[in-house]
Amino acid sequence: MREMRETLRATFGRVLGIENRRRALRPGQLESIASFQSKILDNTRQITIYLPPGYERGDARYPALYVQDGQNLFEPARAFIPGQHWRLDEAANAAISERTARPMIIVAVDHAGPERIDEYTPTYDPSRQAGGRAGDYALMLIEELKPVIDARYRTLPDTAAGGSSLGGLVSLYLGLTRPEIFSRLGVMSPSVWWNNRTILKTVDRFAGPRPRLWLDVGGREGRDTLRDARALRDRLQNEGWTDADLGYFEDPRGDHSERAWARRARKMLEFLYPPV
């Protein structure tokens, strides 16, 4: 009988602990700008904004993270493959509630459909007859979108950029060319291959303040992608990045998919926004 009571007490304790943890994971809020119009790019896209737990109850200000391919981040029905999204709000809720990351505002910027490849690449690639509007895309974020977000929400000057694949490439470009604005970068499975790996030359020319930078890649993304990510890591280290401001992670099971990036999203947030 005594052993039965102890077993029941232990079981009840575990269940209570799980329930308490569930209650502790407070959700953030999602808001949206359905049709954000850019004069610089001459197009319109949806912007989705994640506000961290407790945002509505105080007057604190938060750093803002601008993530590309916004349709893939929060809503399963809008993802490239329906049902496969980053679950980025869930990752942020868990990290913030468990205090493994500081609270942040996440600004999810939808891509522009057929114009995505041009906007997310820094140079024109003659072999593909495409690309080269990343500079204009940067101006859209800095001169058009960021002022709207800063006016509507309680942001801090501490601004970050993040994304995967071509979205990771353009996020890296943003930090290398405008480090005075984008001081943190989440670069997941970046398309280093674009135009004969021209982004590596941009790294070699970098001379600004080093952004805090998360870089990752999946082991199942192919030999060339893995080689390119390692080459990028090595170039960054040659330019002065150390373990203090460069987080590098290889996921042995990771392929090139939203599902794989979802598994690493929390790690990325925790590196970019470590608890104080």
DSSP string, 191-240: -TTHHHHHHHHHHHT--SPPPEEEEEEETTS-HHHHHHHHHHHHHHHHTT
Give me 192's structure tokens: 């280093």
**Angstrom distance (rounded) from CA 61 to CA 50:** 14
Q: How confident is the model at residue 202 (pLDDT cuts 50, 70, 90)?
A: very high
* pTM assigned to the model: 0.91
Q: Is 14 part of any domain?
A: no
Greater confidence (23 vs 148) lies with: 148
Considering its fold, how many domains does the chain have in total?
1
Within 10 angstroms of residue 60's Cβ, the number of other Cβ atoms is 11
Q: Is 2 part of any domain?
A: no
Q: How confident is the model at residue 11 (pLDDT cuts 50, 70, 90)?
A: low
Q: Is 148 part of any domain?
A: yes
User: For 226-271, how does the pLDDT look when each residue is reduced to its tens digit (9 = 90+)?
Assistant: 999 999 999 999 999 999 999 999 999 999 999 999 999 999 999 9
Q: Compute the half-sphere exposure of residue 160: CA atoms within 13 Å on the CB side of its CA.
A: 25
Beta bridge partners of 32: 48
Q: Of all residues in the chain, what percent carry a pLDDT higher than 70?
A: 91
Q: Is 10 part of any domain?
A: no
The CATH number of whichever domain residue 49 belongs to comes to: 3.40.50.1820
Mean pLDDT confidence for 130-141: 98
DSSP 211: P
User: How confident is the model at residue 3, as a pLDDT?
Assistant: 62
> To the nearest whole number, what is the mean pLDDT of the chain?
93
User: How confident is the model at residue 15, as a pLDDT?
Assistant: 47
Q: Is 51 part of any domain?
A: yes
Domain assignment of residue 54, given as a range = 28-272
**Angstrom distance (rounded) from CA 263 to CA 218:** 11
Q: Is 109 part of any domain?
A: yes
Q: Is 20 part of any domain?
A: no
User: How confident is the model at residue 50, as a pLDDT?
Assistant: 98
Question: Alpha-carbon Rg of the chain, whole angstroms?
Answer: 20
Q: How confident is the model at residue 24 (pLDDT cuts 50, 70, 90)?
A: low
Q: Is 137 part of any domain?
A: yes
Greater confidence (250 vs 14) lies with: 250
In the predicted model, is pLDDT for residue 16 greater than 90? Answer: no
